[in-house]
Structure formats: structure tokens, C-alpha cells
């Protein structure tokens, strides 16, 4: 199921072809300060590889995203791990895993490198589902984060409580932070990166 996401970073709607892997990457990139721009459905690139029978294949391929980052720029292909495992058997020269379990696209990487760019395969194994759920829960706060403010005294109390109880749940934090409204706690989590288990 496709998702149309209103990206604050890009100031436009970005499409994710599936609600799981592609959207998970898009949401992670949206909240990653190292990512400057995210473009969906970038222009196609040519791939060249041998199939299982040794025949040369030269398909044109459209990656899911093109990302401009602080350290690198390049194409991103998002795939469920189960599909990559199947592709590894049926197209062993198109998708491979290295010793650390990171997926690669051998025909995509050298093409990207000729222009000083990268080609990355992003698998569902890389998704932090807790961070995903938390980002969705806090989405309304992220939209206007610059205008939102938490009084210094309240912020100091919240930091102390989180430092005293690493991994504290949102419910427990709300109970311990008597007198601090729930909205202020949510703003503090979104704006000041408090490590709280939101339990979403």
C-alpha cells in the first residue's frame, strides 16, 4: 500500500511505495540530521550483471530514493529481507550480503561510484520499529518544533527523572513528573531527545 508523506524537510509530498520498508526508510531519513534531501523515484540507472545461467542482463532500474547527505549522496533501494533472500538465490549477482550481513547491489555500486555517488540497499532488518512508532507518535510535535518551548525548570526535572531511570516509560515519566502537562513532556521528548520508552 503506497503512502503519501508530507515531508517537512522537503516541503513537499514524498511517495513511499509500501507502508513498511520504504516508508520506514523515509521516516528515518526525515528525522536524520545527516540527510539533507530525499527524492523519491529518481531517474533510472543502468545495471549490468550476469544471471544464474551466465547471460548478460542490462536492465534499467529505478531505485526507491535518491538521498543528498552531509557525507554522501546516492541511490537507496529498500527491500524486505525476505525478498532479498529470494533474490540472492534467483539473482545471485544482483543482490549479495557481506560478512556483516549488510546487503549490496554489485551492479549498482560501480555505476554510482563512477560519479562519486553511492548505491545502498536498505533492508527491513535495519528498521528500528520502536523509533518508527515513536516518530509517528510525535509527528504533530515535529511539524512545529521551532515554535514549541519547554520551560527550563520543567526540562531540568524531566532530564533528572530520565537520568535516574534509564529506559523509563512515558506512562511512568508522566506519573513521576507531577504538574508538568503531557504536551510539554511530548515536546521535550521530540525537541530535546529524551530517551523515553513511549510504549507505542
Residue 28 has pLDDT above 80, yes or no: yes
In terms of C-beta density within 10 A (0-12 exposed, 13-18 middle, 19 or more buried), how is residue 7 classed? middle
How many other β-carbons are positioned within 10 Å of the β-carbon of residue 53? 5
Provide the CB-side half-sphere exposure for 156 (13 A, CA).
3
SS percent in the chain: helix, strand, coil, step 5: 40, 25, 40
Q: Is pTM beyond 0.85 here?
A: no
* Confidence class for position 144, pLDDT limits 50, 70, 90: low
Question: What backbone torsions phi and psi does residue 76 show, to the nearest 5 degrees?
Answer: -125, 125
The pLDDT assigned to 136 comes to: 79
Residue range 44-71, pLDDT digits in tens: 999 999 988 889 999 999 999 999 999 9
Q: How far apart are CA 13 and CA 165, in angstroms?
A: 39
Average pLDDT over residues 23-41: 93
The pLDDT assigned to 186 comes to: 84
Instruction: Please give the domain boundaries of the chain with CATH numbers for all domains.
Output: 3-126 (3.40.1350.10), 129-192 (no CATH)
Q: What integer best gives the mean pLDDT of the chain?
A: 88
Amino acid at each position: 500500500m503506497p503512502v503519501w508523506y508530507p515531508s517537512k524537510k522537503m516541503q513537499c509530498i514524498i511517495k513511499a511505495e509500501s507502508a513498511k520498508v520504504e516508508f520506514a526508510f523515509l521516516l528515518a531519513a526525515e528525522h536524520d540530521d545527516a540527510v539533507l534531501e530525499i527524492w523519491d523515484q529518481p531517474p533510472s540507472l543502468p545495471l549490468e550483471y550476469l544471471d544464474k545461467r551466465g547471460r548478460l542482463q542490462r536492465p534499467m532500474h529505478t531505485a526507491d530514493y535518491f538521498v543528498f547527505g552531509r557525507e554522501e549522496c546516492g541511490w537507496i533501494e529498500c527491500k524486505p529481507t525476505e525478498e532479498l533472500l529470494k533474490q540472492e538465490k534467483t539473482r545471485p549477482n544482483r543482490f549479495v550480503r557481506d560478512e556483516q550481513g549488510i546487503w549490496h547491489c554489485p551492479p549498482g555500486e560501480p555505476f554510482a561510484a563512477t560519479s562519486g555517488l553511492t548505491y545502498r540497499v536498505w533492508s527491513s532488518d535495519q528498521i528500528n520499529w520502536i523509533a518508527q512508532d515513536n516518530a509517528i507518535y510525535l509527528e504533530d510535535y515535529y511539524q512545529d518544533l521551532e515554535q514549541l518551548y519547554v520551560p527550563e525548570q520543567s526540562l531540568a526535572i524531566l532530564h533528572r527523572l530520565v537520568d535516574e531511570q534509564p529506559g523509563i516509560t512515558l506512562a511512568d515519566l508522566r506519573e513521576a513528573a507531577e504538574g508538568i502537562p503531557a504536551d510539554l513532556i511530548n515536546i521535550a521528548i521530540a525537541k530535546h531527545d529524551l530517551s523515553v520508552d513511549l510504549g507505542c
